Amino acid sequence: MDRRLTLLAAIGSLVAVLLLGALIAQDTTPDPPIAPPPVASSVAPSAPAPRATRVQLPRPADVQLPEPPREPPAPAELTPDDRRRMNYAMNDVLIEAREACILPWIDGLEEPLKAEFVLDAVLYDGHLYDVGIRSLDLEMPTSVRDCIADKAWYGDWPSWDLQGELRLQRSVAYRNAAMVR
């Protein structure tokens, strides 16, 4: 009799588990599909920010350019000392441009501001070939660009007979006419 009771209890437990599983399965309904996010209204077009374009700094008439490469040039292979000299030359140009051109212009603006500028230079075969600037926050007046161009083109750039292309870039940021490092 004990065996029968144990067997009946086991069968009863099994039936209860199966019924409970069936009830749970019936009770679960699929989640409703997730609605796509609402479509944002169109944004009114606006003028591109000054950062949208790089402005080539004009070359003075008395500065001679090297011959442009006929094919895309390979990167110049510099020694660490030569690369350091070129980086120092780029820093010197940026310091002169900042002191003589950028800070006087920013100091003359009325409201507190944040401004960032990116100066870049391209050298072919060891000679300065192109200089450009981007103002990331403000529209830069032509007189300031011309001042920076003079500092860049007449800067003390090392030159040598070295084949290839070298690209240099530096940025400087200001907040309320104070340089941010």
Read off the pTM: 0.66
* pLDDT at site 45: 53
* pLDDT at site 100: 94
- 134 with 115: CB under 8 angstroms? no
* pLDDT at site 113: 74
* pLDDT at site 88: 93
Residues 86 and 128: their CA atoms lie apart, in Å, by 11
Band of residue 13 on the pLDDT scale cut at 50, 70, 90: confident
The tens digit of pLDDT for each residue in 108-147 reads 887 767 788 899 999 888 888 899 998 887 888 999 999 9
- Write the burial class of residue 71 (CB in 10 Å: 0-12 exposed, 13-18 middle, 19+ buried): exposed
Averaged pLDDT, 35-59? 64
Domain locations along the chain: 75-180
- 65 with 59: CB under 8 angstroms? yes
pLDDT above 60 for 180: no
Q: Which of 112, 101, 174, 178 is nearest to 143 (CA)?
A: 101
Rounded to the nearest integer, the mean pLDDT of the chain is 79
Give, in degrees to the nearest 5, the angle at Cα 63 between 59 and 65: 85
The tens digit of pLDDT for each residue in 74-109 reads 888 888 998 899 999 999 999 999 999 998 988 888
pLDDT above 80 for 56: yes
- 132 with 148: CB under 8 angstroms? no
Averaged pLDDT, 160-174? 85
Give, in degrees to the nearest 5, the angle at Cα 172 between 169 and 143: 90
* pLDDT at site 14: 65
Band of residue 173 on the pLDDT scale cut at 50, 70, 90: confident
- 118 with 138: CB under 8 angstroms? no
Band of residue 153 on the pLDDT scale cut at 50, 70, 90: very high
Question: CA separation (Å) from 172 to 63, 64, 117, 158, 180?
Answer: 26, 28, 5, 22, 7
Band of residue 163 on the pLDDT scale cut at 50, 70, 90: confident
